[in-house]
Amino acid sequence: MKSTTRILALSLTFAAAAAISQAAPAAENWENLCARCHGADGKGQTKIGKKLNLKDYTDAKVQAEMKDADMVKAISAGVSENGKERMKAYKDELSAAEIDELVALVRKFKA
C-alpha cells in the first residue's frame, strides 16, 4: 500500500513537471492570447477586431501580402502605429518556437 502511494506521488510529480516544461500547443495559445482580437477563426470579426480593423486571415490576398518574417516580428515585438500600441509584444510569454507555430497556425486559416 505504502509503495503504491509513493509511485502515485512520483508519477504526479512527473506529470506536473512535464506540464510546466512543455510549451502550450499553438491552438491553445491562439485561443488564450489572440482570439479575442483576431477571432477563433482568424477573420478578425470580434468586437475588438472590428474596432482595430484587423485583417481577415482566411483571405488568400491578405495571406499573400504577409511575410512570415513580418508575422514573427509582429507577434514577438508587437504592432504600433504612430507610437500607439495596437498589439502587444509576446516575446516575454512565448518562446521562439511557440511564435513560429503560431505563424504556421495563422497560415492555416487561409481558405
Identity of the residue, 17 or 65, whose beta carbon is nearer to ligand HEC in the bound complex = 65
**Considering the rule CB under 6 A, would residue 27 count as an interface residue with ligand HEC?**
no
Identity of the residue, 27 or 52, whose beta carbon is nearer to ligand HEC in the bound complex = 52
**Residue 89 CA: distances (Å) to CA of 33, 58, 77:** 11, 23, 4
- Output the smallest distance, CB 18 to ligand HEC, in A: 23
Site residues for ligand HEC per CB under 6 A: 29, 33-34, 36-38, 48, 52, 54-55, 66, 70-71, 74-75, 79, 86-87, 90, 102, 106
